[in-house]
Amino acid sequence: MSEPLPTTAVVRVSRVIFDPSLFSEIVTADKKASEYLIPAIQRLPGLLHWFAGVAPEGSFVQVSVWDCEEHAKQMDQLTEMTVRARGDMREAGVIFTPETATIVNYPINWTI
């Protein structure tokens, strides 16, 4: 069993869709971004878990668990994410629009 989460915990889901023909470029951009994102994100208070994945079908997701929504929202202002990583993804071919990119913070109702 995992340890219980705070009652204020949230799951932050960031999802981007892209042309599947860009899969290898997106994987490369994600690996490059991880080199500077990991230390920047680890400095933020409240992070409990972080997962990132790129699917060959044309989507990229980052799922993180935070102790509260206030701490999850730090990602909205993290320069390494909002400027640098987005720039790397744009260079790889990702187009950020409301139709292709979403970020949602979900209060956690239950866990296993």
pLDDT of 1 above 50: no
Whole-number average pLDDT of the chain: 94
- Residue-wise pLDDT tens digits, 12-65: 999 999 999 999 999 999 999 999 999 999 999 999 999 999 999 999 999 999
pLDDT for res 3:
74
What pTM, to 2 d.p., does this model score?
Answer: 0.91
pLDDT band at 108 (very low <50, low <70, confident <90, very high): very high
Q: Return the domain boundaries, the chain.
A: 13-104
- Which of 66, 53, 63, 45 is closest to 26 using CA atoms? 53
CATH architecture of 13-104: 2-Layer Sandwich (3.30)
pLDDT of 107 above 60: yes
Task: Identify the residue whose tokens are 């139709």.
Answer: 99
- Which of 88, 74, 41, 111 is closest to 103 using CA atoms? 74
pLDDT of 112 above 90: no
